[in-house]
Amino acid sequence: MNYTIITSRCKGPQYPPEPCCDAFKEFACPYTDDINDLSNNCSAQMFHYINSNGNYPIGLFGTLCRDDKIGLICPASPPGAETNDVGADSNNSPNICIVTMASSCVPVAVTLLQMCTDLKEIRQLHTRLVVSGLIDRRVNAGRLIASYVACGEICEALSVFHTVHHPDVFAYNTIIRGLTKDNCPHDSLLLYSELLQRNLTPDNHTYTYVLKACSRIKAVSEGKQLHAQIIKAGKKPDSYIHSSMINMYVNSGETHSAERVLAEFSEENVLAKNSMITGYMNQGEVNAARQLFDDMSTRDPASWSAMVTGYTRSGMHTEALVVFQEMIASKTPVNESTLVSALSACGHSGALDQGRWIHVYINRKGDNISVNLGTSIIDMYARCGCIEFGYQVFKSMPEKDVVTWGVIIHGFATHGSAEKCFQLLDEMVSQGTQPNKVIFVAILTACSHAGLVDLGRLYFSQMSSLYNIRPSVQHYGCMVDLLSRAGRLVEAEELISTMVEEPNTVIWGALLAGCRLHKDLRLGEYAFKQLVKLEPCSGERFKLVSRLLADRGEQERVQKLRKEIRDRNLEITQGLSLIEVDGEIHEFGASDIDHRRYQEIYSVFKIDGPGRF
DNA sequence: CTAGGGTTAG
């Protein structure tokens, strides 16, 4: 017989948790989540375990009783256990021996909780701990809190925490970590001050988690206070504290403080440097990030990931993809976030070939594709103009979230397939995913591109009436764009006047563009005035309004405006199109006829003349 | 005597 020995050290690959948990499920006790129900019907003695065949397979046995010992049935005595001859075979025959863990070993409940793989098991053990009274042991309660935190059940964790009379530092640490992870960093900080009030001594874990909470809410002053406390306590920060500290400063935008902390630490700390790279990248100090990365003697996957993500977010897509290729070449295991960033870089730069290469690479790796990664693949194809490929990937995904639906709907919207967008929205709702505000931006964009004014109005009103989504400036932007393009300028103006928030440049810009299209000088000038107030340095709007004036034959005012653009040296940004040819990305501006391969591309796309590209 | 890098994308 092939037994797995379960010991208190049963973590790790050599002791897979499955056999113990299977055994666990078959305990003679019926499964129930209800503590009261269990306490009425069962005693603490029920852990005696015999499986359905009447055999004694390896498993947990014994009682969870106040002496908190565990029995194991196994062919030989596991390390760290004392053999108890009860039930042991006479001359240590290979059949069965029953051992009891020495009392110095890890408490049973802790061992059991470590074996739990899902919430059901944890709940069941929770009930048993309550029934047996073992929950009163702080160690057990603490580990139970940790188990709930590990599977994201912060409410359960909190309710256990509140029953503990004098929680120890471990319990505080665990719950602080859980609250921060659960996006309640403020509560974490409250509990930290409670810990101090109770005269408990924070340890390295405490500092790490509290720093993380500060980092999450960009609480620099609290973070600095903590920094001072750590130094005052004479604690030697370990690498976790160190990197959390840097992270805190980085997230709060204090790159220089982060730099100083980085310099203070003598040991090589990859985690800290990774945080620093992210910090530089967030501040747009791309070269500093690169320098740090280049100087690192050891890099982990997160170091590479920070570079790829940073470049992508700075819009340096080519650089991002170069680093990504280097990462592959250096045989660094590629994690998911890196792939997501690299795909994003492909999508934003139109690098279809590389995007497809990454898609193939992902398929080759054979891991099953997560919702996030699948979504990124779809988005890449959609942005590179291959919505059909994206749709294939979409259809092949067994699980989708609201972002997945958003990506595909947005993709079809920008490809002008409004009908497909509406159909997908219906599908999404019928499959049980609630649309959010981003979905409606995509839907309204689709209406706008297809000139479907009435449908746009319908969806705009349904948004709040059916789905309880308050229209944001972005939605108003879509609607103003939709109405203005269709020449319904008065309606557009009316809609703007109903806005609660201040209209932004997108809103006025859309109105101005519509006015130019439909030659409405009065409203156009009004929109223009609002625009100049909001962004006095953009020449683009001047150009648009001067065209409007030219259309109306107001030559004199046109000249005046043109002079103003020149005199004030207003910047004129240009919309760019990106085309990948043989792995090389080419940028095109509107009416760009100076590109060295213009003729080729001109003929391929049958552009009907310069200026109309 | 149990616990610890980041949350991207539309």
pLDDT for A4 equals: 29
Quote the CA–CA distance of A408 and A376 in Å, as a whole number: 10
Identify the band that residue A21 occupies on the pLDDT scale cut at 50, 70 and 90.
very low
Which residues fall within 8 angstroms of residue A584, CB to CB, at 6 or more apart?
none
- Residues 245-274, chain A: which have Cβ under 7 A from strand B? 247, 271, 274
SS3 A218: coil
Mean pLDDT of the region A25-41: 35
Quote the CA–CA distance of A351 and A579 in Å, as a whole number: 8
Which nucleotide is closest to A113, CA to C1'? Answer: B2
* Strand B–CB A337 distance below 7 A: yes
Which nucleotide is closest to A435, CA to C1'? Answer: B10
pLDDT for A253 equals: 87
Contact between residue A176 and residue A167 where contact means Cβ atoms under 8 Å apart? no
pLDDT for A108 equals: 63
* Closest protein CA to C1' of nucleotide B2, residue: A143
Mean pLDDT of the region A414-424: 94
- Residues 188-227, chain A: which have Cβ under 7 A from strand B? 203-205, 208, 212
Distance A334 CA to B6 C1' (A): 14
Torsion (CA) A375, A377, A383, A387 in degrees, nearest 10: -90
pLDDT in tens, A508-556: 999 999 999 898 889 998 998 888 888 777 767 777 777 777 777 778 8
Identify the band that residue A265 occupies on the pLDDT scale cut at 50, 70 and 90.
confident
pLDDT in tens, A567-589: 776 666 555 565 666 666 666 55
Identify the band that residue A103 occupies on the pLDDT scale cut at 50, 70 and 90.
very low
**DSSP label at A502?**
P
pLDDT for A590 equals: 55
pLDDT at A79 over 90: no
* Strand B–CB A238 distance below 7 A: yes
Q: A185-197 and A204-216 are packed helices; what angle lies between their axes, rounded to 10 degrees?
A: 140
Most trustworthy range by pLDDT among A93-97, A172-176, A240-244, A249-253: A172-176
**CB-proximal positions of chain B, under 7 Å:** 1-10
Q: How far apart are the first and last CA of chain A?
A: 76
pLDDT for A550 equals: 77
Closest CA to A568 of A576, A577, A560: A560
Which nucleotide is closest to A304, CA to C1'? Answer: B6
pLDDT for A601 equals: 54
pLDDT for A58 equals: 32
pLDDT for A37 equals: 38
Average pLDDT of every residue of chain A = 78
Mean pLDDT of the region A165-177: 95
Quote the CA–CA distance of A300 and A335 in Å, as a whole number: 10
Q: Which helix (H) or strand (E) holds A37?
A: helix A35-41
Quote the CA–CA distance of A169 and A142 in Å, as a whole number: 9
pLDDT for A154 equals: 92
pLDDT for A31 equals: 34
Mean pLDDT of the region A303-316: 94
Neighbours of A414 (CB within 10 A): 17
Mean pLDDT of the region A222-228: 92
pLDDT for A164 equals: 93
Torsion (CA) A45, A49, A53, A54 in degrees, nearest 10: -60
- pTM passes above 0.95: no
What is the sign, positive or negative, of the torsion defined by CA atoms of A416, A422, A425, A431?
negative
Quote the CA–CA distance of A228 and A205 in Å, as a whole number: 16
Q: Which helix (H) or strand (E) holds A322?
A: helix A317-329
* Closest protein CA to C1' of nucleotide B7, residue: A337
* Closest protein CA to C1' of nucleotide B4, residue: A205
Which nucleotide is closest to A106, CA to C1'? Answer: B1
- Residues 267-306, chain A: which have Cβ under 7 A from strand B? 271, 274-275, 278, 300-302, 305-306
Closest CA to A243 of A217, A268, A218, A280: A268
Contact between residue A156 and residue A135 where contact means Cβ atoms under 8 Å apart? no
Contact between residue A258 and residue A249 where contact means Cβ atoms under 8 Å apart? yes
Identify the band that residue A64 occupies on the pLDDT scale cut at 50, 70 and 90.
very low
pLDDT in tens, A588-608: 555 555 556 656 655 544 433
Torsion (CA) A347, A348, A353, A356 in degrees, nearest 10: -20
Distance A558 CA to B6 C1' (A): 53
The separation between CA A591 and the C-alpha centre of its own chain, rounded to angstroms, equals 40
Identify the band that residue A215 occupies on the pLDDT scale cut at 50, 70 and 90.
very high
Portion of chain A with pLDDT greater than 70, in percent: 74
Neighbours of A375 (CB within 10 A): 26
pLDDT at A36 over 90: no
- Residues 113-132, chain A: which have Cβ under 7 A from strand B? 114
Lowest mean pLDDT among A90-99, A133-142, A221-230, A306-315: A90-99
Lowest mean pLDDT among A32-36, A420-424, A437-441, A582-586: A32-36
pLDDT at A19 over 50: no
Mean pLDDT of the region A229-233: 88
Contact between residue A145 and residue A174 where contact means Cβ atoms under 8 Å apart? yes
Of residues A583 and A15, more confidence is placed in A583
Which residues fall within 8 angstroms of residue A566, CB to CB, at 6 or more apart?
none
pLDDT in tens, A179-195: 999 989 999 999 999 99
pLDDT for A610 equals: 31
Which nucleotide is closest to A173, CA to C1'? Answer: B3
Torsion (CA) A581, A585, A586, A588 in degrees, nearest 10: 120
Quote the CA–CA distance of A279 and A288 in Å, as a whole number: 10
* Strand B–CB A446 distance below 7 A: no
Distance A209 CA to B8 C1' (A): 22
pLDDT for A469 equals: 92
The b/e string for A440-474 (b: 16+ C-beta within 10 A; e otherwise) is bbbbbbbbbbbebbebbbebbeebeeeeebebeeb
